[in-house]
């Protein structure tokens, strides 16, 4: 796997910023936040990830292979089995795993493989085998998070019964300087990787 040291260093810095913000969100949210090991509702059904996420996942799998080859083999096997199941309906290029763009592609993706579990999800423990390398969506899902002008998203299992004001009190904002966008631009220039993909394609052929 090609190494991109400067991008990798930038991604580590980005993750530190995001994880610190999420720790603050968790502190603010207190008992409203019910995310726990084994709660896997957000781990079923594919979602778009960036090429930076994909790079981080591949690196995470390579590191896992170094200290637990059998566990890494199971992750890769689940990813390949997932791709085999979903490739014929994939709203994009089933060879590269790159998602198509445009309104029609977004509509197709909305109902795509809703029952397909994430390959990184260990079906026995309900934990993520690549937790440290998880995509940005996974890192920021649960408490109220605002990324730039985007609307605040909250897990439907959290903040049950909370008012809008109570949710707003727990809100945090991350990546206000567009650091992720800068890294994605650099990654595209360095490797040619652009657009979005999903976890299964990121891990199936590493």
Q: What is the 3-state secondary structure (H, E, C) of the chain?
A: CCCCHHHHHHHHHHHHHHHHHHHHHHHHHHHHCCCCCCCCHHHECCCCEEHHHHHHHHHHHHHHHHHCHHHHHHHHHHHHHHHHHHHHHCCECCCCCCECCCHHHHHHHHCCCCCCECCCECCCCCCECCHHHCCHHHHHCCCCEECCCCCCECCCCCCCCCCHHHHHHCCEECCCCCHHHHHHHHHHHHHCCCCEECHHHHHHCC
Would you say residue 151 has pLDDT above 70? no
On average, the pLDDT of the chain sits at 92
Please report the pLDDT score of residue 40 as a whole number: 92
Confidence bin at 150 (pLDDT 50/70/90): low
């Amino acid at each position: 796997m090609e190494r991109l040291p400067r991008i990798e260093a930038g991604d580590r810095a980005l993750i530190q910023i995001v994880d610190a913000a999420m720790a603050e969100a968790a502190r603010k949210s207190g008992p409203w936040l019910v995310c726990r090991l084994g709660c896997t509702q957000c781990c079923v059904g594919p979602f778009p990830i960036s090429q930076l996420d994909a790079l981080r996942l591949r690196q995470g799998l390579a590191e896992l292979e170094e200290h637990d080859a059998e566990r890494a083999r199971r992750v890769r096997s689940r990813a390949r089995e997932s791709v085999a199941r979903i490739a014929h309906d994939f709203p994009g290029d089933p060879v590269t795993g790159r998602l198509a763009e445009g309104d029609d592609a977004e509509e197709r993706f909305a109902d795509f493989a809703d029952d397909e579990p994430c390959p990184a999800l260990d079906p026995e423990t309900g934990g993520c085998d690549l937790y440290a390398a998880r995509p940005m969506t996974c890192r920021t899902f649960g408490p109220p998070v605002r990324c730039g002008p985007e609307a605040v998203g909250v897990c439907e299992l959290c903040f049950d019964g909370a008012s809008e004001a109570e949710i707003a009190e727990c809100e945090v904002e991350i990546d206000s300087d567009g650091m992720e966008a800068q890294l994605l631009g650099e990654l595209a220039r360095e490797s040619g990787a652009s657009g979005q993909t999903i976890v299964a394609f990121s891990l199936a052929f590493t």
